[in-house]
Amino acid sequence: MGLATVSGAGKGSNRRGFIMANSKRIVLSSDHAAIELRQAIAAHIAERGFEVNDIGPVSPESTHYPKHGEAAARAVAAGDADLGIVVCGTGQGIMMAANKVKGIRCGVCSDTFSAQMIRTHNDANMLALGARVLGEGLALEVVDAFLSAEFEGGRHGLRVDMIKGIEG
């Protein structure tokens, strides 16, 4: 699946054309259980200046989270997006699917501390959220914590390399 829908300010500029600090490309996907939250996240991070590729779905019919987790993960693994955010009812199933794609490190977070730490220590390139677990306000704070943090490297780099080694 390609990156069908492009929304947001894009190319690191906001709606008034000012250059923003955020130029990262973020891919989003979800299943049917999380369309509203995913769209709220897309609008929120576009407002913050991120380039957003929301690959859906948009229709509310029941759909299978593995294919949506895989689609976002493949975009990150291919370098078409810098980071990914995936959402399902709990965040767990779509996280498991995303983590099957080589090069993906995706964690489910329901608190801002964990969301920051999976970037700084684990170099996570994807965040998973549960739309039936978190309210929108907290979910957006968790997203902000994830997107504001950077990998620290150093001793954490060795450990992330060990994770990569398990992939073969």
Judged by CB under 6 A, which of 8, 49, 93, 107 binds ligand RB5?
A: 93
| 89 near ligand RB5 (CB under 6 A) | yes
**What's the full length of the chain, in residues?**
168
| 29 near ligand RB5 (CB under 6 A) | no
Q: What share of the chain is helix, strand, coil (3-state, %, to 5)?
A: 40, 15, 40
Judged by CB under 6 A, which of 14, 92, 112, 114 binds ligand RB5?
A: 92
3-state secondary structure of 11: coil
| 70 near ligand RB5 (CB under 6 A) | no
* Dihedrals phi, psi of 61, to nearest 5 degrees: -60, 150
Q: Quick one: tokens of 146?
A: 């994830």
Q: Which parts of 128-147 interact with ligand RB5 (CB under 6 A)? A: none
Judged by CB under 6 A, which of 38, 65, 118, 142 binds ligand RB5?
A: 65
3-state secondary structure of 160: helix
| 33 near ligand RB5 (CB under 6 A) | yes
Residues belonging to the active site? 88, 121
